[in-house]
Amino acid sequence: MQGKIIKGIAGFYYVHVAESGIYECKAKGSFRNQKVKPLVGDDVRLEVLNEEEKKGNIEEILPRKNQLIRPAVANVDQALMIFSAAKPRPNFNLLDRFLILMEYQQVPVVVCFNKQDLAAEEELAVLEQTYRSAGYEVRFTSAAREEGLGEIRALLKGKTSTVAGPSGVGKSSLINLLVPEAEMETGNISRKIERGKHTTRHSELFALEEGGFIFDTPGFSSIYLPDMEKEELGTYFPEFARYEPKCRFQGCAHIHEPGCGVKEALEAGEISPIRYENYKLLYEELKEKRRY
Ligand SMILES: Nc1nc2c(ncn2[C@@H]2O[C@H](COP(=O)(O)OP(=O)(O)OP(=O)(O)O)[C@@H](O)[C@H]2O)c(=O)[nH]1
Ligand SMILES: [Zn+2]
């Protein structure tokens, strides 16, 4: 039988088998000699030990399409990045860091701005323009009013998507609408912390009714840039690629150089000032880091 690991807790792996359910498995297969550790997201071959009790044994880990380090998950097709359009206002620096991290790991991203009901039309237009012109899929939702969910479902269908976002943007509310079985606790952040919720929650994959899986990751408030030279940073801003051939100097950093194609595109309104400002900030950050 073949299935997908949706969760791993204390040496047990929970394997989702289409039309059969979830099996609690141990990893005893020959792959153990090959030093491969099963990961959430792995497609595996399993032997059923007890159908009644839904117990099994993982015999083989099938070849991985990819393997992310942050978050640790295998076979991811895309990332669904959730920010709120308002309350809290999107932290663009955090969003751009996330996009760089995903570019680095070669994972396509869909940027979803939730709470569209709380933002003005003009604000939504800026968000859309900023990230669409950078080459990303952009969607708007309101979990509160159940708006925009059809489009998100269509994007998720048949794929494995990791869902990420800072706290308080409505990620749990959205996941509950997409997979009611997930029963994520929603609401006031401080109340949740009081209950110690964040210490007990495991990251896991949820099967979607229409096919595909979503991988819920804990809310975050900071992201470290992947280890790289500052000169590489521009390669993780996909919108720069078109304009770089116009830069006068080879290896142009797009900051102080004259005759810079990227800065010309910025002035012409073809590259977003929000994105460019973050590029400069992150470039400085990488420069500082390398000094020590
Ligand atoms: N107005 C409005 N409020 C929303 C929307 N989505 C969620 N909320 C509210 O925003 C608050 C945070 O929602 P959650 O779903 O708990 O947020 P979260 O991102 O999962 O937060 P963490 O679990 O802390 O990571 C709750 O009070 C929700 O009711 C929305 O689309 N519009
Ligand atoms: Zn340049």
In a 10 Å sphere around its CB, with 0-12 CB exposed, 13-18 middle and 19+ buried, how is residue 28 labelled? Answer: exposed
The arrangement of secondary structure in 230-291, i.e. its CATH architecture, is Orthogonal Bundle (1.10)
CB contact set of 16 (below 8 Å; sequence gap of 6+): 3, 4, 5, 6, 22, 205, 207, 213
Provide the pLDDT confidence category of residue 160 given band limits of 50, 70 and 90. Answer: very high
Q: Which CATH superfamily is domain 68-216 in?
A: P-loop containing nucleotide triphosphate hydrolases (3.40.50.300)
Least confident stretch, 14-28, 53-67, 215-229: 215-229
Residue closest by Cα to atom 30 of ligand 1: 115
Q: State the complex-level ipTM.
A: 0.97
222 is in an annotated binding site: no
Q: Is 168 in the pocket of ligand 1 (CB under 6 A)?
A: yes
Least confident stretch, 46-60, 132-146, 188-202, 266-280: 188-202
Q: What's the pLDDT score for residue 180?
A: 84
Picking from 91, 28, 89, 87, the residue whose alpha carbon sits closest to that of residue 60 is: 28
Q: Is 193 in the pocket of ligand 1 (CB under 6 A)?
A: no
Provide the pLDDT confidence category of residue 195 given band limits of 50, 70 and 90. Answer: very low
Ligand 2 mean position, distance from CA 146 (Å)? 43
Q: What's the pLDDT score for residue 245?
A: 97
Q: What's the pLDDT score for residue 30?
A: 73
Q: Which atom of ligand 1 is nearest to the CA of 173?
A: 15
What does the alpha-carbon distance between residue 118 and residue 145 come to, in Å, rounded to a whole number? 11
Domain ranges of the chain: 2-64, 68-216, 230-291
Give the ranges where 56-195 is alpha helix by DSSP (H): 92-104, 121-132, 149-156, 171-178, 189-194
252 is in an annotated binding site: yes
Are β-strands 55-61 and 43-50 bridged in parallel, bridged antiparallel, or unpaired? antiparallel
Q: Is 119 in the pocket of ligand 1 (CB under 6 A)?
A: no
Give CATH for domain 2-64. 2.40.50.140
Least confident stretch, 59-63, 192-196, 222-226: 192-196
Q: Is 75 in the pocket of ligand 1 (CB under 6 A)?
A: no
Q: Is 117 in the pocket of ligand 1 (CB under 6 A)?
A: yes
What does the alpha-carbon distance between residue 7 and residue 63 come to, in Å, rounded to a whole number? 18
Q: Is 219 in the pocket of ligand 1 (CB under 6 A)?
A: yes
Quick one: what percent of the chain has pLDDT higher than 90?
79
245 is in an annotated binding site: no
Q: Decide if 2-64 and 230-291 have a common fold.
A: no
- Has residue 292 got a pLDDT over 70? no
- Has residue 198 got a pLDDT over 60? no
Contact call for residues 29 and 59 (beta carbons, < 8 A): yes
Ligand 2 mean position, distance from CA 280 (Å)? 12
Q: What's the pLDDT score for residue 280?
A: 98
Q: What's the pLDDT score for residue 220?
A: 83
Distance (Å) of CA 185 to CA 137, 168, 202, 252:
28, 12, 13, 48
Ligand 1 mean position, distance from CA 104 (Å)? 29
pLDDT tens digits, residue range 105-152?
A: 999 999 999 999 999 999 999 999 999 999 999 999 999 999 999 999
Q: What's the pLDDT score for residue 201?
A: 54
Q: Is 144 in the pocket of ligand 1 (CB under 6 A)?
A: yes
> Which ligand approaches the C-alpha of residue 246 most closely?
2
Return the best residue to mutate from 173, 176, 190 for the ligand 1 pocket (most ligand atoms within 8 A of CB).
173
272 is in an annotated binding site: no
What's the whole-number average pLDDT of the chain? 91
Mean pLDDT of 48-65: 95
Ligand 2 mean position, distance from CA 246 (Å)? 7
Q: Which atom of ligand 1 is nearest to the CA of 145?
A: 31
Mean pLDDT of 143-168: 96
What pTM does this model have? 0.90
Q: Is 167 in the pocket of ligand 1 (CB under 6 A)?
A: yes
Q: What's the pLDDT score for residue 36?
A: 83
